[in-house]
Chain A
Amino acid sequence: MSAFDLSVITENLPFLWEGLQLSLLLTALAVLGGIVLGTVLALVRLSGFAPLALLAASYVNLIRSMPLILVIFWFYFLVPLVIGRPVGGLYSALIALVLFEAAYYSEIIRAGIQAVPRGNIWAGKATGLNYWQIQRHIVLPQAFRHMLPVLLTQAIILFQDTSLVFVVSLRDFMTATSIVAQKEGRLVEMYTFAAIVYFVICFAASILVRRLKGGTPQ
């Protein structure tokens, strides 16, 4: 094996950049979907309506005891079967990521909601607001402000998680790196490069989150 060859990276940069864009797109969509679905799950669990709360809790605990790869395989198998025709890896991977991350987001959001002082809720009730109005206007705005650093930290973890779409050959940054590595026979260069790129993005993001955490009053 000859010395570290950087040209294999520069020559394939456009292809790798496309992969990175897909990784970022998957992350953005899964964060969005995960937070929306996670909020719904958290609110249902805290609504006090026992049958639905139990259902939401079971869902969260089920997903949290499964590996993400298994969830990705599940939907890679299920989605075409339900729709009745092959739809490609993107949609099934996206559904899997959203449903998987929603379980983790719902736990963060539930803790955030519970940290809002009870007096706020009583005040809302006393003013004649119903449960959803109290959540919408009083609890959630405060909860989200407090949770922002944790939600963003989870987004960094999610960005790393998207690399697992590799198992269904979706061309994210990880898969693109691997394709180039195999094609050019340059595994050392390509996987080291992947590690550096992921590290720089995640480390920079985590420093930003830490700064944000220092900026918001606890």
Chain B
Amino acid sequence: MDYNWNWAVLFQEPYAEWLLSGVYWTFAVALAAWVIAFTVGSLIGVARTVPNRFARAVGGAYVELFRNVPLLVQMFLWYFVLPEVVPEALGHWMKRDMPNPQYISAVLCLGFYTASRVAEQVRAGIQSLPAGLTQAGQASGLSTVQVYRYILLPIAYRVIIPPLTSEFLTIFKNSSLALTIGLLELTARAQQITDYTFQGFEAFTAATVIYVAIALLATLVMHLVEGRLRVPGMATREASGS
């Protein structure tokens, strides 16, 4: 194997800036998409548990739809297809005047996709709670909304912190798919540096180290959060063995 090592390339102009800008866009996509994923995912997850057949069906259809189409196809649907199928004026605006179309498409795509995964966790969290909680709430005169707001959700969210953490990490990894529609996030920048300098080892190692650092950091933070919010007597990471 013949290879010229040159780690210094990572700190040279313009490659150091490329990497930094890649990290910036990875965070920008992942964090914005997480806001959508958490909000929409919570709504869909709750919808799948409420005593209303229509709401449950809509929630179920949402999850099946987003889970059974590859994320890459969804990315292309948001970026290439959506502007063609919406009303013409809106489509025109999306193609010509919408600022940063790659970024917006990537965020919407990742957000609504991850929402289907968050929804499954929220649903599982609510369903893991004993039915007695809901019954006790109803017996004391709370409405369905109040039962969710004051009893079920505060406990369910704390129970599902570990799986939500892994969804949060997945959104960082999945943000790399934004490169397929031309957004220069971290993975794209590493590939670009390789194309320009042929220093693939260095560029991909840098990207790998950054992804690992993101994973470690997020895991650590969520572990602290989980420790503070743990519900006494409920399943924990250790007890559930996951």
Cβ of A78 < 8 Å from any Cβ of B? Answer: yes
Known: A163-B73, A167-B179, A203-B68. A78 touches B200 (CB 8 A): yes
Residues A187 and B187 in contact, CB atoms below 8 Å apart: no
The contact of B204 among A65, A70, A163, A178, by CB within 8 Å, is: A70
The residues of B with any CB-CB pair to A shorter than 8 Å are 1, 3, 64-65, 67-74, 76-77, 80-81, 84-85, 169, 172-177, 179-180, 187, 190-191, 194, 200-201, 204, 207-208, 211-212, 214-216, 241
Chain A positions within 8 Å of B85 at CB level:
188
Binding site secondary structure of chain A = helix
- A77-B194 contact in complex given A114-B241, A195-B69, C-beta closer than 8 Å: yes
Q: Can you list 16 pairs linking A and B with CB atoms under 8 Å apart?
A: A67-B173, A69-B177, A73-B194, A78-B200, A111-B241, A163-B70, A166-B180, A187-B84, A191-B80, A192-B81, A194-B73, A195-B73, A195-B74, A199-B65, A199-B68, A202-B67
CA distance A133 to B177 in the complex (A): 43
Chain B residue nearest to A156 in the complex (CB):
B68
**Given contacts A73-B204, A77-B194, A187-B84, are A67 and B187 in contact (CB under 8 A)?**
yes
Would you give the shortest CB distance from B139 to chain A, in whole angstroms? 33
Q: Are B211 and A67 in contact (CB under 8 A)?
A: yes
Closest chain A residue to B205, Cβ basis: A74
- Most chain A Cβ neighbours within 10 Å, of B65, B73, B74, B194: B73
A179 interface residue, CB < 8 Å from B?
Answer: no
**Chain B residue at minimal CB-CB distance from A196:** B69
Listed in ascending order, the chain A residues whose CB lies under 8 Å from chain B are 1, 62, 64-70, 73-74, 77-78, 81-82, 84, 111, 114, 156, 160-161, 163-164, 166-167, 174, 178, 181, 187-188, 191-192, 194-195, 198-199, 202-203, 206
The distance from the CB of A190 to the nearest CB of chain B, in whole angstroms, is 9
Q: Closest Cβ of chain B: how far from A182's Cβ, in Å? A: 10
Output the least CB separation between B96 and chain A (Å).
Answer: 15
A38 to chain B, nearest CB (A): 17
Question: Which 10 pairs from chain A and chain B are nearest by CB?
Answer: A65-B215, A67-B176, A202-B68, A77-B200, A160-B70, A67-B173, A163-B70, A187-B80, A69-B176, A203-B68
Instruction: Give the chain B neighbours of A199 by CB distance below 8 A.
Output: 65, 68-69
Q: B77, A195: Cβ atoms under 8 Å? A: yes
A77 close to B204 (CB less than 8 A): yes
- Of A181, A191, A206, the most chain B CB neighbours within 10 A belong to A191
Q: Which of A1, A73, A188 is B187 in contact with, Cβ under 8 Å?
A: A73
Would B211 and A70 count as touching, CB distance under 8 A? yes
Q: Please name all residues of chain A whose beta carbon is closer than 8 Å to the beta carbon of B71 when the two chains form the complex.
A: 160
Question: A65–B26 Cα gap in the complex (Å)?
Answer: 14
* Interchain nearest-CB distance for B153 vs A (Å): 27
Nearest-CB residue, chain A, relative to B91: A1
Q: Which residue of A lies closest to B76 (CB)?
A: A191
Q: A163 contacts which chain B residues (CB < 8 A)?
A: 70, 72-73
B-side contacts of A67, CB under 8 Å = 172-177, 187, 211
**Residues of A with C-beta under 8 A to B194:** 73, 77
Other contacts beyond A160-B69, A163-B72: 8, CB < 8 A: A66-B212, A69-B176, A73-B194, A160-B71, A163-B70, A187-B84, A191-B81, A194-B76
Q: How far is the CA of A79 from the CA of B85 in the complex (A)?
A: 42
Closest to A194 in B: B73
With a cutoff of 8 Å between Cβ atoms, the chain A residues found around residue B64 in the complex are: 203, 206
Contacts A65-B169, A66-B173, A188-B85; is A81 near B1 (CB within 8 Å)? yes
The reply to whether A206 and B187 contact each other, CB–CB distance below 8 Å, is no
* Chain A residue contacts of B73, Cβ below 8 A: 163, 174, 191, 194-195, 198
Are A188 and B81 interface neighbours, CB within 8 A? yes
Nearest-neighbor residue (CB-CB) of B77 within chain A: A191
A1 to chain B, nearest CB (A): 6
On chain A, the residues within 8 Å of B187 by CB distance are: 67, 69-70, 73
Measured CB to CB, the closest approach of chain A to B170, in angstroms, equals 9
